[in-house]
Amino acid sequence: MIVGVLNQKGGVGKTTVAVNLAATYARDGRRVLLIDADPQGSAMAWSSSRDAEPPFSIVGMAKPTLHRDLPRLARDYDIVIIDGAPRVNDLGRSAILASDYVLIPVQPSPYDVWAAADTVALIREAQVMKEQLKAAFVVNRRIARTAIGRDAADALAQFQDVPVLAAALHQRVVYAESVARGLSVIEAAPSSEAARELEALAAEVLVANEGKTA
């Protein structure tokens, strides 16, 4: 299974979602590969900041031939997560074509909802060549006890072929704190609310892809 974490808008938390999803699956005993397909190399930088090896493999592949090069690497893993690039259409298209499932992080902001159309357009374009490709939105950095996250999900309903996942990630300090320590949330705070949210997201993505529970 190859999951692309992608959004043509920057600053939506793609790397945070990708790294923490990879760590969650690895904690569950799966062989996981994280592909850093962003020229900024944020996931690679996170890996380099660690005192110990990450719990999953990580490779930098920010190139428009990703969809042709990745299948050879993916054979050795149960799950591949792609941390995609923002605002780079050739890289974005390649990452989408390489994916079985595209997860689109969206912050609860009108700007993010408006920008989502660009990513959905790329996915629909790819589905012409890859009909089995699936995609879904995940609301990221949702603010607790507000209606903003629900309003964002309602607004995203305009994209009828791209559902909004029930699992959402809230705005929590532990995400920034774990990155500063070179850790994933699952490692830094395994019993936290953030860890439980990530577990719910990981399980929902598996169900959508494989039709089975995690």
DSSP string, 152-205: HHHHHTTSTTSPBPS---B--HHHHHHHHTT--HHHH-TTSHHHHHHHHHHHHH
State mean pLDDT over 119-135.
Answer: 92
| Pair type for strands 32-36 and 57-60 | parallel
Domain ranges of the chain: 2-210
pLDDT reported for residue 29: 94
Q: 151-166 pLDDT, tens per residue?
A: 777 778 788 889 999 9
Question: How many Å from the N-terminal Cα to the C-terminal Cα in the chain?
Answer: 13
pLDDT reported for residue 148: 59
* CATH topology (fold) of 2-210: Rossmann fold (3.40.50)
φ and ψ of 135, to 5 deg = -150, 155
pLDDT reported for residue 113: 79
Q: pTM here?
A: 0.90
Whether 134 has a pLDDT exceeding 90, the answer reads: yes
From 40-44, 62-66, 133-137, 209-213, the region with the lowest mean pLDDT: 209-213
- Which residues 6+ apart lie within 8 Å of 6 measured at CB? 14, 82, 84, 92, 95, 96, 99, 102, 103, 104, 119
pLDDT reported for residue 108: 77
Higher pLDDT, 52 or 158: 52
Whether 147 has a pLDDT exceeding 80, the answer reads: no
Whether 110 has a pLDDT exceeding 80, the answer reads: no
* Element holding 48 (H helix, E strand): helix 42-48
Confidence of residue 33 (pLDDT cuts 50, 70, 90): very high
Is there a contact between 36 and 62 (Cβ–Cβ < 8 Å)? yes
Q: 6-20 pLDDT, tens per residue?
A: 988 777 789 999 999
The pLDDT > 90 percentage for the chain reads 68
Q: Is 76 exposed, middle or buried (0-12, 13-18, 19+ CB in 10 A)?
A: exposed
Work out the mean pLDDT of the chain and round it to a whole number.
89
* Element holding 60 (H helix, E strand): strand 57-60
pLDDT reported for residue 212: 44
State mean pLDDT over 191-213.
Answer: 87
pLDDT reported for residue 115: 82
Helix, strand, coil distribution of the chain in percent, nearest 5 = 45, 15, 40
Whether 211 has a pLDDT exceeding 90, the answer reads: no
